[in-house]
Amino acid sequence: MIVHSDISQTRLDPAELATQIKRWGGALGFQAIGIADVDLRDAEPRLLEWLARGYHGDMHYMARHGASRARPDELIPGTLSVVCARLDYRSESARDSESVLRDADRAFVSRYALGRDYHKVIRTKLERLAQRIAREAAPHRYRVFTDSAPVMEVELARKAGLGWRGKHTLSLTRDGSYYFLGEIFTDLPLPPDSPVDAHCGTCARCIDVCPTRAIVAPYLLDARRCISYLTIEHHGSIPEAFRPLIGNRVYGCDDCQLVCPWNRFARPTSEPDFAVRNGLDDVSLAQLFAWSRAEFEDRLAGSAIRRIGHERWLRNLAVGLGNAADRPRAVAALRRRADDPSALVREHVAWALARLGDPR
């Protein structure tokens, strides 16, 4: 939403307004609010080099927007400040991630996707915050974002003092990395916060643990190798070389976060929308693979998972079943979809059956 501003009507000075914005954000449930300026020139060369290497894979929207990702005032003309927000998502009731990953017959879903779609949750909260700013302090021209446009969220969060960029490229704090980011681009001239220092030191656990070696260097990710990319963003066939390495990860991958020492201090979320739905924290691959398209659409309504569609969901599960430990059960589940209408699903089912010693 874009609302035209009238800066002359501002009822608080910028410093007071920034303080109030942080209070209002806290009242909405955000764990932290910070303010960044729009100067991302230092990050732009790294972004352009990353794109030139093709590390964005099939995420062509990143290349289309190019340098505009590093120029907030071009993306939304008139932007003077970015209000950055952090919202924790780790559910205390979810089954322990490591135990699920060790059980090759269970489906591992990245912990951020176990509850309601974060896009909807954060967008609603940010819209309320932006409207409160307009109502109680200063009419302004703004737009809300949460992982929904060419926005350099991690860099903006760093400048806003919400965290530093970890070597896995995710935003990271002393309280871990299990949180979402969101932004309000506004034409209000707010005083920016100071960046926090990085505290990764010599630790390289996230790099060493990556199953597909997607973190090719500290702070540099080749998305084409990343399991999160392969199971969520990638639309076609998953390269065969990566399929055994994916294991039972059917939607995303948390390995780099699980080994991060800072996540020992991560706090559980207080946001009820992020509570586990449909038992996705502890469910068998075979059970999920049996869902019809209608079941998929119905059960995952309001979930971030739903956006990949039933076809890619089955593709991912077929790979997981190909890596399963309970061979008879996996083979039985796969055989029931050996003649699936989707060529993409049939291809991955055939691979999984062959891997389990049951070629058709």
pLDDT digit string (tens) for 212-262? 999 999 999 999 999 999 999 999 999 999 999 999 999 999 999 999 999
In a domain, 321, yes or no: no
- Interval 114-140 mean pLDDT: 94
In a domain, 130, yes or no: yes
Highest-pLDDT range among 6-20, 50-64, 108-122: 108-122
- Looking at residue 144, its pLDDT comes to 95
- Interval 148-162 mean pLDDT: 90
In a domain, 243, yes or no: no
- Looking at residue 9, its pLDDT comes to 54
Tell me the catalytic residues.
147
| Bridging pattern class, strands 108-109 and 249-251 | parallel
Q: Which residues contact 161 (CB under 8 A, 6 or more apart)?
A: 34, 193, 194, 195, 196
Q: What is the pTM of this model?
A: 0.93
Total of domains in the chain: 1
The span from the CA of 58 to the CA of 75, in Å, is 22
Calculate the average pLDDT of the chain.
93
The span from the CA of 60 to the CA of 45, in Å, is 18
- Looking at residue 150, its pLDDT comes to 72
The pLDDT tens digits of the residues spanning 55-71 come to 888 887 776 766 666 78
Q: Which residues contact 233 (CB under 8 A, 6 or more apart)?
A: 57, 58, 59, 223
The span from the CA of 141 to the CA of 156, in Å, is 19
In a domain, 316, yes or no: no
Domain with 223 in it: 1-93+113-234+254-275
